[in-house]
Structure 1
């Protein structure tokens, strides 16, 4: 993880949505960092020192089971932040935060972020709205992983990643996608071949290109639309 001070902090849509005075209160304490693919920012139980606001990076929160298997609980991109919800009391991460798509992010010390929330009511309201949307995302993700077929879940995951990027080529490997979906790599490979055969995606080396966005939305489970709707209701402008 390195630093890149040239990036505009308001590339993050949560920061861009702040009232001018609220943003001004945070800006002196924000720094821009580069997040590399595969970097683990927090392990379960680690003390949380920073709140992050991704720009073009995407970070997954995954639960690490005793047998080594992983299950994704939430995804964070330019729409929001992470390193805050689980830090209000314990200040400890309750899962692994791993960079799935490299890019940049703004970060601020947890102490500065919590002080700003305590003293700025409009910032507090926006944080609460984001936390509600995030809990809804986790709620629907748990149900989705329990009852929906792999292909529908895969489409939901590809759409969620596509929403957080400005291009159609998603830098994803079969192995990483298998970990996030909690299935075998061979299952993901077969699923992606099927999606490519129907013209929804195109597989390239280390990348998956979205070819037919509308077709992916039709093939995705209802959870994608529910999560999308909740974010738009609570945080207008999340999806531009």
Structure 2
């Protein structure tokens, strides 16, 4: 008996059998190489990506070259929602933060399925609400909470999207994503390590005490997580 094909992506696995059958032939497995730009600000988007592993950062770059992360996407979601809004460009960029793989779908195929008004459309709209909630909470967190709280939130969101306790990321990268000085991230990470919540090495961070990290975080992480759990319950499918 043939092994059933699995999407290994949270959104795709909620789809009906008919939707899976229509999309399966157009979904192509692609590698997500760390540092790769999936789309740049102002550039036409021709592909949607449904990560199966790895993490993609949505970032906004200022005119003076500074960059800040506005959302994080992993196997729970998709990259490139603007292709479904009759807008092929966006002022943000999407950059692979943690390497992995994704299922790529041409924009015209995704748009055709979206316009059928089935469960694919329903889940895409719900995911957009989750993504907007994450963006809003990120803005609040970056404005009102300490770097240590921001770091806790960032580590927890990243940990949710990978299948290991080891994050291959530098403190310089985290500082860029948070829009703060690297020294501030180093100090915050040192405090979290002293509390036994994480362990740091060159280019790597290990989550040692997940529950403790959640307690140390501000409410921003739990707000986003509750919204995801409320709107995108787990299902089996493709």
Q: TM-score normalised to the size of structure 1?
A: 0.93
RMSD: 1.3
In the alignment, structure 1 residue 163 sits paired with structure 2 residue 160? yes
Q: Give 4+ residue runs of structure 1 displaced > 2 Å after superposition.
A: none
Structure 2 residue aligned with 1:193: 190
Where do 1:1-240 residues align within 5 Å? 10-85=7-82, 87-237=84-234
- C-alpha deviations, 1:122-170, integer Å up to 9, x for none? 2111111111111111111111111111100100000000001111001
Q: Distance in 2 between matches of 1:120 and 1:9?
A: 23
Secondary structure of the residue aligned to 2:86 is coil
Residue 87 of structure 1, CA deviation: 4.9
Q: Which runs of 5+ in 1 are unaligned?
A: 1-7
Q: Distance in 1 between matches of 2:187 and 2:40?
A: 31
Residue 85 of structure 1, CA deviation: 3.3
Equivalent pair of 2:42/2:90 in contact (CA under 8 Å): yes
Equivalent pair of 1:170/1:208 in contact (CA under 8 Å): yes
Secondary structure of the residue aligned to 2:7 is helix
Q: Distance in 2 between matches of 1:179 and 1:170?
A: 16
Q: Distance in 2 between matches of 1:51 and 1:39?
A: 15
Query: How has the CA–CA distance of structure 1 residues 72 and 86 changed in structure 2, closer, same or farther, with 3 Å as cutoff?
Result: farther
- C-alpha deviations, 1:78-106, integer Å up to 9, x for none? 00001123651221132111100000000
Aligned residues: 231
Equivalent pair of 1:57/1:102 in contact (CA under 8 Å): yes
Q: Which runs of 5+ in 2 are unaligned?
A: none
Q: Distance in 2 between matches of 1:85 and 1:9?
A: 26
